[in-house]
Structure 1
Amino acid sequence: MKQSLRGKFYGQTNRTISLNGITLTDTVYTHNKVDWHYHEHAYFTFILEGNVIEGNKKEIYNCAPGSLLFHNWQEPHYNIKNKGFTRGFHLEIDKKWFDNLALSCDGLQGSTNILNPDIKLLMYKVFRATKIDDMCIDISIQSLLIEMLSKMNCNTQSTLHKMPRWVLMIDEILHDQFAETTTLDELSRMLDIHPIHLSRDFSKYFNCNLGEYIRKLKVEKALSLIALQNKSFTEIAYECGFSDQSHFTRCFKEFNGLNPSRHRKLLFT
């Protein structure tokens, strides 16, 4: 089985940034199929444009723009690229980086399809940091990566401690129905728990209130739609369940720190 070394992916790499124990690459995928292989280091793959299928020993992921995967060291997988332009952003982490910071990676085994919107929003910030040429890029990306890994470890610990069934159910419902108008009473009936219980305990597991979490999911979806380049911001706003473009822009800036047009410009430069 082939091993891919640091900074090497199957395509045309537009840019590589090497920091202290971290390597970032922006790559256009050119191979229709990449057979089973593994990488030298643990890494994230973030799909910026196009679509790709990725399979590992346990699962197969259909990755559209905004999909975020994590692979541990030497985790075998394969890739199939759909027709059309496909571009990925990768963040590789040397083992020594974890050791130098005395960070545990015990909860990061295998391959993972990351759905947590907080982690995805942080990854967008990592990508945007690579577009800003200043002396703070190293500390910015190191800090963002530590925050991402911390949230991943928290998710793993919550799973190990067996979250209540309603937590997994509501996360699935909200991912499917974030663009629809849903009331607290409707969610409570679907989950068969009291509205006060749901409202009170939601932040315990999601680190924000219910309304904020729904807005994050809407913004996350908007980010993936911006990558398609064929939709106006007004169309994206309504497709994601915002009342109008102005509301969309305010929420987008709240969670990303910049407006949609600025994000689109950075994405395609």
Structure 2
Amino acid sequence: MYLIYHRNSVMDNLAKGQFFGHSRNEMVVNGLTVVQSAYHNLTSCPWHYHENAYFAFTTSGHLLETYKRKDIALSAGSLTYHYSQEPHCNSRYSPYVSALHVDIDERWFDRCDLRHTRPEGLWELQSPDLKIIFARLLAEAKQGGTEQGIGTESLVLTAFSKMLQLREFSDHKPAWQEKIKELLYAHYDETLSLTSIASELQLHPVYLCQQFPKLFQCTLSEYVRKIRIEKATERLMNRDPISLTSLAYACGFSDQSHFIRLFKKHTGLIPLAFRKLVQ
């Protein structure tokens, strides 16, 4: 489908699977509609809302998304979840923007027994786990194949499982949880020691090692690796011309082979194959 925005037009409601821009490679599976959308030299789109809940994974470029109470700056690697009927508009598009959308029919929530636990409202999803899931979903969408439907639904279900875990721990998270996330993102490309991290947080290293997996569902070292993969996918999606060796070092990996091995483990593709798909 191709929705063209005219300055004087009004579009209050976008039906199932509809998104502004040029939508291509649409796939429908059991109530999920996966759409890859491209925005060529679009300046803005009007206030609107969507009939269904959906995920939006920005895969290149940048833009500003405006809601009644906040603005969200989106760029390659940004991931959001929108409950249905959330009014918003978009502006400040870079010359070329693309996104992967997953539109979710109400019946899908019922069929997967998620109606009473599904998230509501607007979620800015910062978890490297979730962003890697959608990088993998992007690879699935671009590769196609008869097994794509099963893979897509499995990944979306995994994403909701991760989101519910995040919500479960959000009500009783310790004060240092956000601080350690900021610390790890700020220094993901460096070699950090457990003692230096614990000292910065004013925590005992043993206590930190015990509590971190409860809050993040993985070890501290695993979390750092996921951030590095997240950052590498962002640069690949933004068509960074850097060599894979330089990219590996820039993202904190010890060497290219280590980077390739971990990238494939998390996304299902080696970096070169992922780069070719997104280009």
Query: TM-score, normalized by length of structure 2?
Result: 0.90
**Do the aligned partners of 1:188 and 1:195 also contact (CA within 8 Å) in 2?**
yes
**Do the aligned partners of 2:63 and 2:94 also contact (CA within 8 Å) in 1?**
no
For residues 143 and 116 of structure 2, the distance between their equivalents in structure 1, rounded to whole angstroms, comes to 29
Structure 1 residue 29 corresponds to structure 2 residue 31: no
- How far the C-alpha of 1:197 sits from its partner, in A, is 0.6
One-letter identity of the residue aligned with 2:74: C
**Number of residues of Structure 1 aligned to a counterpart in Structure 2:** 267
Structure 1 residue 18 corresponds to structure 2 residue 28: yes
For residues 260 and 150 of structure 2, the distance between their equivalents in structure 1, rounded to whole angstroms, comes to 28
One-letter identity of the residue aligned with 2:20: Y
Structure 1 residue 102 corresponds to structure 2 residue 113: yes
Change (3 A) 1:240 1:156: same
Q: 1:197 aligns with which of 183, 197, 207?
A: 207
For residues 216 and 63 of structure 2, the distance between their equivalents in structure 1, rounded to whole angstroms, comes to 29
Q: Deviations over 1:6-37 (max 9, x none)?
A: 22211111221112111011111243111221
**Do the aligned partners of 1:107 and 1:156 also contact (CA within 8 Å) in 2?**
no
- How far the C-alpha of 1:213 sits from its partner, in A, is 0.6
Report 1:45-60 matches (<5 A). 45-60=56-71
For residues 104 and 29 of structure 1, the distance between their equivalents in structure 2, rounded to whole angstroms, comes to 33
One-letter identity of the residue aligned with 1:248: F
For residues 242 and 88 of structure 2, the distance between their equivalents in structure 1, rounded to whole angstroms, comes to 33
- How far the C-alpha of 1:105 sits from its partner, in A, is 5.2
For residues 113 and 240 of structure 1, the distance between their equivalents in structure 2, rounded to whole angstroms, comes to 23
> 1:117 is matched with which residue?
128
Report 1:85-234 matches (<5 A). 85-104=96-115, 106-160=117-171, 162-229=172-239, 230-234=241-245
Q: 1:79 aligns with which of 76, 85, 90?
A: 90
For residues 211 and 45 of structure 1, the distance between their equivalents in structure 2, rounded to whole angstroms, comes to 28
For residues 228 and 128 of structure 1, the distance between their equivalents in structure 2, rounded to whole angstroms, comes to 15
**Do the aligned partners of 2:136 and 2:268 also contact (CA within 8 Å) in 1?**
no
The sequence identity of aligned pairs, in percent, is: 35
**Structure 1 residue ranges (4+ consecutive) displaced by more than 6 angstroms after TM superposition:** none
For residues 111 and 59 of structure 1, the distance between their equivalents in structure 2, rounded to whole angstroms, comes to 10
For residues 104 and 208 of structure 1, the distance between their equivalents in structure 2, rounded to whole angstroms, comes to 27
Q: RMSD between aligned alpha carbons?
A: 1.6
Unaligned runs of 5+ in 1: none
Q: Deviations over 1:102-133 (max 9, x none)?
A: 21354511111111111111112222222333
Change (3 A) 1:105 1:217: farther
